[in-house]
């Protein structure tokens, strides 16, 4: 499907490749005053999160070096990574993401540029081996940082001190993720993910305003649909553009609101019209997940069939139903279809009839009628619950200690947005200050992929060693603070 168009769409994406801005960044502290001996260690601080290439200038003191210098270099986004070890790591994603290198330098003096692009603020250098006849001098360290975000586009934001810090941290997050496309995490993953893109794009519209970068990403997704026309959950751009073999119910559908948001932000009619068939195709494909009798999404136990959040025990059936409704409503705003309107109503009714517990006023999910925060949030965002009922389900979740909680900034974004939708702007701001503010208070320069205040070491991957501390989907406080959505009469 769309086979005749895909090549052209990928050509358009290629033509929209962004200009990259580079800057040389120097350490703010930690450069050793003394030459280093074997087993010495130095921790250099570059003052803020950077994405780029690290160069070290090294020389020696003492006798002529009679053996190579053997170094281990570890690059960390967050201070706590400096002392973490890979020993005993049994997580389920590759430990090869951990940013560490070992090298031998045969001839000194030398200028060494490390081989990869890294995401980091801190660099830990351990001298693993040196001869006793000389010591190593670290003369200089610098980063050639890179981003497609244009800092000149940023309007100043004035507010309370914490809000300003949250905004700056959010901007830095987005900036570090804005590369050749909207990456999801410049340390770990580096793919273009649909769910992350939707939120990055929103934030970008009120900050860096790189509309072409969003357009490029929309064309990348459209140009890599599979033979059925399905949008992949994520894609690679190297060595060539290629969809990953991962498909998620919600991520495919999110192409629709992402296109609508792009159109709303830019008024770019031509792109909207060209990509609308791809958007509508996602709705058509989602039909296979519905039971025509009940009009409910069929639950699934296939891991990752629908994402929603990283809370591992979360049942996704209700959220999937709500996300379909949310996305179908977005499609209606681009091209109205009376038949679809009826289906939307039927599915809202089905959710209220079968997946609602009148007594507790909570929406439930799956055969076990699981109660989760995510279900209430999506009930509100999709308009399944409105007015008093919407407020009631969020309040009821707060009183239900067994409700499955929210663990990612991605899910917390949706919670804060749901609060805004029902007019609870102050509470939304309090959520932003509590949740993202807690990361700032924990030393964040950029916002993290995952943050569970109740368990700071939580990781969906089996170990925090591979966690990403600059993650696209967590950049949205800048959108909340700058778009006007938090204002009382917005
Ligand atoms: C994580 C990724 C990405 C997210 C997916 C579903 O693995 O880092 O950000 O969209 O999960």
User: Closest by alpha carbon to 3, among 221, 235, 226?
Assistant: 226
Residue 385 — very low, low, confident or very high, per pLDDT cuts 50/70/90? very high
Check pocket membership of 469 for ligand 1, CB cut-off 6 A. no
| Atom number, ligand 1, closest to the C-alpha of residue 93 | 7
pLDDT of residue 357: 97
**Contact, 213 vs 272, CB < 8 A?**
no
| Atom number, ligand 1, closest to the C-alpha of residue 248 | 6
Mean of per-residue pLDDT scores for the chain: 96
Mean pLDDT over 176-203 rounds to 97
Q: Is the pTM of this model over 0.85?
A: yes
Residue 469 has pLDDT above 90, yes or no: yes
| Chain segment 32-61, per-residue pLDDT in tens | 999 999 999 999 999 999 999 999 999 999
| Atom number, ligand 1, closest to the C-alpha of residue 184 | 9
pLDDT of residue 87: 85
What burial class does residue 392 get, using C-beta atoms within 10 Å of its C-beta: 0-12 exposed, 13-18 middle, 19+ buried? Answer: middle
Mean pLDDT over 444-469 rounds to 87
Span from the CA of 394 to the centroid of ligand 1 (angstroms): 26
Check pocket membership of 257 for ligand 1, CB cut-off 6 A. no
Would you call the peptide bond into 109 cis, given omega within 30 degrees of 0 as the criterion?
yes
In DSSP notation, 275-308 reads HHHHHHHHHHHHGGGEETTTTEEPP--STTSS-S
| Atom number, ligand 1, closest to the C-alpha of residue 471 | 9
| Atom number, ligand 1, closest to the C-alpha of residue 193 | 10
Residue 456 — very low, low, confident or very high, per pLDDT cuts 50/70/90? confident
In DSSP notation, 4-41 reads HHHHHHHHHHHHTPPP-EEEEE--SB---SS-B-TT-E
| Ligand 1 binding pocket mutation candidate from 174, 177, 182, 184 (most atoms within 8 A of CB) | 184
In DSSP notation, 363-375 reads EEETTTTEEBHHH
| Chain segment 207-250, per-residue pLDDT in tens | 999 999 999 999 999 999 999 999 999 999 999 999 999 999 99
- Residue 334: alpha-carbon gap to chain centroid: 26
Residue 460 has pLDDT above 90, yes or no: no
| Ligand 1 binding pocket mutation candidate from 449, 451, 467 (most atoms within 8 A of CB) | 449
Residue 340 — very low, low, confident or very high, per pLDDT cuts 50/70/90? very high
Span from the CA of 4 to the centroid of ligand 1 (angstroms): 30
Residue 411 has pLDDT above 90, yes or no: yes
């Amino acid at each position: 499907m769309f086979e005749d168009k895909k090549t052209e769409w990928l050509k358009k994406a290629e033509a929209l490749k962004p200009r990259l801005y580079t800057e040389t960044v120097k350490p703010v502290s930690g450069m050793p005053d003394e030459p280093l001996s074997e087993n010495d260690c130095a921790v250099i601080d570059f003052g803020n999160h950077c994405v780029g290439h690290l160069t070290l200038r090294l020389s020696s003191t003492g006798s002529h070096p009679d053996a190579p210098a053997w170094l281990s270099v570890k690059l960390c986004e967050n201070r706590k990574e400096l002392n973490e070890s890979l020993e005993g790591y049994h997580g389920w994603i590759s430990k090869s993401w951990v940013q560490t290198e070992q090298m031998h330098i045969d001839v000194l003096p030398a200028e060494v540029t490390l081989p990869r692009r890294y995401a980091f603020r801190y660099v830990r250098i351990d001298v693993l081996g040196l001869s006793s006849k000389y010591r190593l001098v670290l003369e200089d360290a610098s980063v050639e940082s890179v981003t497609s975000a244009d800092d000149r586009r940023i309007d100043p934001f004035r507010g309370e001190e914490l809000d300003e810090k949250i905004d700056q941290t959010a901007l830095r997050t987005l900036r570090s993720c804005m590369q050749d496309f909207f990456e999801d995490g410049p340390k770990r993953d580096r793919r273009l993910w649909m769910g992350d893109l939707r939120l990055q794009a929103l934030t970008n519209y009120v900050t860096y305003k790189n509309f072409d970068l969003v357009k490029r990403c929309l064309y990348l997704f459209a140009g890599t649909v599979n033979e059925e026309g399905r949008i992949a959950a994520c894609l690679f751009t190297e060595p060539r553009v290629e969809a990953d073999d991962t498909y998620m119910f919600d991520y495919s559908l999110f192409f629709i609101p992402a296109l609508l948001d792009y159109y709303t932000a830019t008024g770019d009619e031509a792109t909207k019209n060209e990509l609308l068939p791809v958007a509508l195709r996602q709705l058509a494909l989602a039909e296979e997940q519905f039971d025509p009798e009940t009009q409910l999404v069929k639950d699934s136990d296939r891991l990752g069939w629908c994402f929603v959040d990283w809370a591992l025990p979360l049942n996704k059936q209700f959220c999937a139903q709500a996300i379909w409704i949310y996305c179908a409503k977005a499609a209606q705003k681009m091209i109205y279809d009376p038949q679809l309107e009826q289906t939307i109503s039927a599915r809202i009714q089905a959710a209220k009839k079968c997946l609602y517990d009148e007594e507790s006023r909570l929406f439930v999910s799956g055969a076990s009628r699981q109660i989760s925060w995510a279900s209430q949030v999506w009930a509100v965002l999709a308009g399944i619950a409105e007015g008093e009922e919407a407020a009631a389900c969020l309040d009821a979740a707060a009183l239900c200690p067994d409700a499955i909680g929210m663990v990612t900034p991605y899910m917390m974004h949706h919670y804060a947005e749901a609060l805004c939708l029902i007019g609870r702007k102050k509470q939304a701001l309090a959520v932003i200050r509590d949740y993202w503010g807690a990361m700032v208070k924990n030393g964040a320069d950029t916002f993290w992929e995952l943050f569970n205040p109740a368990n700071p070491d939580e990781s969906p991957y089996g170990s925090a060693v591979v966690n990403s501390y600059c993650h696209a989907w967590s950049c949205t406080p800048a959108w909340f603070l700058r778009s006007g959505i938090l204002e009382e009469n917005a």
